[in-house]
Structure 1
Amino acid sequence: MRPADLPAAFALQCRVYPDAYHEPQEALASRLEAGPAFCWVVEQGGQLTGYVFAHPWSGAPPPLHEPLPACVAEHLFLHDLAVCPNLRGMAAGRQLYACVAGEALRAGLGRIRLVAVGSASAFWQRQGFAELVLAGLHPAYGQAQVMQQDLLG
């Protein structure tokens, strides 16, 4: 992902998520800045049709809608993965996640955490994630589940 992809990523986010999850482009830009090796896009016909934002992090999941503060990395936080509805079922989400997991291992980050919103927990369970009971989840996440995968076994 490049900074020039942010407007298209924001537009896709607005297309696939309810209003409460639409984040300002400044917040998305801070995630790309914090973890450029972990942010990827899918393009089809010159159009951005999927993306993933992930970044090094420590502690409870970061608040939504706000730029990230600096931190010392303890794990990789997968902030958001979205795929255009017409690509669902075509492995785009799995491929984006595979890119993130591979880069996490190369960077020495053997644990990935995320917050699954809506019905996304089933997808993440299929990728090897399990529920993690963790205090301090920002209320903007709504009804959500913190999940974790240990890449090193």
Structure 2
Amino acid sequence: MPALDWRPMRAHDIGGVIDVARASFPDHFEARACFEERLALFPQGCLVLAQAEAVKGYVIAYPWPKGAIPPLNSLLGQLPDARDSFYLHDLALHPDVRGQGHASPAVEQVARELRAAGGHEFALVSVNGTKGFWRSMGFDPVAASADIQRKLESYGEGAAYMIRKL
């Protein structure tokens, strides 16, 4: 069986990324155009876990203002000029490869890319009961403003805004 390796995402990977997203986030699915746009806007924040050419996981991160949550299933249009704060939009693994230690290398690889791009911190929304997992990756929950709290409601019960210093 070919090895699983994290590598930069390419345009032809998007179909596999969508398959992993459907399996991972059935209640928060995003359109193909969202994945394509994020790759085009900030390719250095997009990786796939590949087994030969099969996509088994992906991570997407990009510059985004601290304390703000990008809208789900929406095109961003452009990214902010500031590169000090980043948002981890998704980290998803196909059910076949979960629990095998693939998440941590992806988070660390993206963290290196974000630091190289000038980042000082990176934020995410923890969903589906994953707060403990993200804490183990160095992210801490932060008090959410009323605006953030309203946006978190669209992510489901227990969603939390979390930040990690780079």
Quick one: which amino acid aligns to residue 136 of structure 2? Answer: R
The CA RMSD measured in Å over matched residues stands at 1.4
Equivalent residue for 1:44?
Answer: 51
Is residue 98 of structure 1 aligned with residue 108 of structure 2?
yes
SS of corresponding position for 1:69: coil
2: distance between equivalents of 1:103 and 1:62? 20
Q: Is the 8 A contact 1:32 1:55 kept in 2?
A: no
Equivalent residue for 1:72?
Answer: 81
Shift of 1:87: 1.3
Shift of 1:89: 1.9
Structure number with larger C-alpha Rg: 2
SS of corresponding position for 1:55: strand
SS of corresponding position for 1:7: helix
Equivalent residue for 1:21?
Answer: 28
Unaligned ranges ≥5, structure 1: none
Equivalent residue for 2:19?
Answer: 11
Unaligned ranges ≥5, structure 2: 1-8
2: distance between equivalents of 1:102 and 1:32? 18
Is residue 141 of structure 1 aligned with residue 155 of structure 2?
yes
Quick one: which amino acid aligns to residue 133 of structure 2? Answer: F
Alpha carbons of structure 1 residues 3 and 46: separation in structure 2 relative to 1, 3 Å: closer
Quick one: which amino acid aligns to residue 122 of structure 1? Answer: G
* TM-score scaled by length of structure 1: 0.91
Equivalent residue for 1:120?
Answer: 130
SS of corresponding position for 1:51: strand
Equivalent residue for 2:4?
Answer: none
